Amino acid sequence: MAEIILETQGLTMRFGGVVASDNVDFKLREKELRCLIGPNGAGKSTFFKCVTGLQTPTEGEIYMQGVETTRWMPHQIASLGVGIKTQTPNVMDSLSVFENIWLAARRFHAPQQANRKTQEIIERLALGSIARDDLGQLAHGERQRVELGLVAVGDPWLVLLDEPAAGMSAEDVERMTEIIHELNKTAAIIIVEHDMQFIRSIAEMVTVFHQGKVLMEDHVDRVMSDPTVRNVYLGKKN
């Protein structure tokens, strides 16, 4: 069995009286691809934000490669080699595609090497024709792809993606899937996603969230055919 690289113990997040994340125990192994699904307000995004350091959990611990990272800032977690993509495109709009990726590369490499890494990623993601364009002028799908480039250029061992397929065309999603599979060769990946089509095409293991708790954790086929999951998530139609 591969080593556990991410673990949460009793992760709880309360906003006033609302328990957004309730005692979540979660384990992720090396190079695993895991999808987190659940209805709106199930606590997926809160879980995501706690793990990435965007929010500090009320209770519980988070361990990454055996190191406790519970109260760490996002930049400290990212510095460990964790690639993070948030729900809305989070990019530097008035900078070029090259500059965006270069800035991500520069964090882990010297300037010259960062240039090389950036070129590499631009070729890998087929962004060559738009490399000098400002990111703000590009289509949504292209921006999402660039953001994946930002994540990939750091050679992460853990990648966290919040709704990567949201608002993308079928063609873009297909390309995105390829990139994710490519990333998965060297990194464990967690995907928070709504799009069932996308989940079916990419997922192996799936964790279902419901009312802040982990409802079920199993292979995608068994999760999809499970009656409880269908009840809470897909609506009651049998």
Residue ranges binding other proteins (CB under 8 A):
52, 54, 73-75, 78-79, 84, 86, 90-95, 99-100, 102-104, 106-108, 111, 150, 154
Q: In what order do the strands lie in the sheet with 59-64?
A: 18-29, 4-15, 59-64, 67-68
Output 72 or 198, the one with its CB closest to other proteins: 72
Nearest distance from C-beta of residue 158 to other proteins, angstroms: 13
Please identify, using beta-carbon distances, which residue of 23 and 119 lies nearer to other proteins.
119
Task: Please give the structure tokens belonging to residue 117.
Answer: 């890494």
Least separation, in Å, of the C-beta of 79 and other proteins? 4
In the complex, least distance from residue 109 CB atom to other proteins, rounded to whole angstroms:
10
* Dihedral over alpha carbons 74, 1, 204, 62 (to 10 degrees): -20
Identify whether the C-beta of residue 133 lies closer than 8 Å to the C-beta of residue 60: no
Least distance from C-beta 51 to other proteins, angstroms? 12
* Residue with smaller CB distance to other proteins, 109 or 210: 109
Question: Residue 104 or residue 206: which is nearer to other proteins going by CB?
Answer: 104
